[in-house]
Amino acid sequence: MQIYVNVLQTYMSALGMGDFATIKALFTPDARVNSPFLGEMPAEDFFEKLADFTSESIITPIDIFLSTTDRHQATAYFRYDWTLKDGTQISFKVMDLFSFAANDDRVTRLDLIYDTHPIRSSVGNKFQ
C-alpha cells in the first residue's frame, strides 16, 4: 500500500508543477477519469484539457486515505488553488479517488469528488 501513497504524492506534486507528462505516466493506457465538470473520459484526454485550461496550480495536500475495503484504492484529499489561463482564480477542496490495476501500481480510474456549485458560479461552463 505504500506504493499507492507514493503515487498519490507524485500526482499532487506534478499537478502543482503543471507536469502533465508525469501525471499521464501514472495511468494505464485505457484509464478513465470521471469529472463533475467534464463527465467520464479517457485520462489522456482529461489531462490534456486540464493543461489547456491551466495557468497555475497550487496544491496543498491535506491527507491520503488507504481503503479498508478495496486494497486497490486510495484517496488524495487536497486544496486546489487553480488559476485558469484567462486569469480566473478558483479555490476548492477535492478528494480524488484512485483505483489501481491489480498487477501494478498504475491508475486505472480516477473519480474527482468536489462541490461544483461555488466553482460554477465563478467560471460558468468554460469547460464544456
Q: What's the average model confidence in pLDDT over 4-28? A: 97
Q: What's the average model confidence in pLDDT over 22-26? A: 98
CA 33 to chain centre: 8
List, for residues 110-126, the tens digit of each pLDDT value.
Answer: 999 998 776 766 666 65
- Across all residues in the chain, what is the average pLDDT? 92
pTM (predicted TM-score): 0.90
List, for residues 90-104, the tens digit of each pLDDT value.
Answer: 899 999 999 999 888
Rounded CA gap, 15 and 28, in Å? Answer: 17
CA dihedral 24→30→36→38, nearest 10 degrees, is: 90
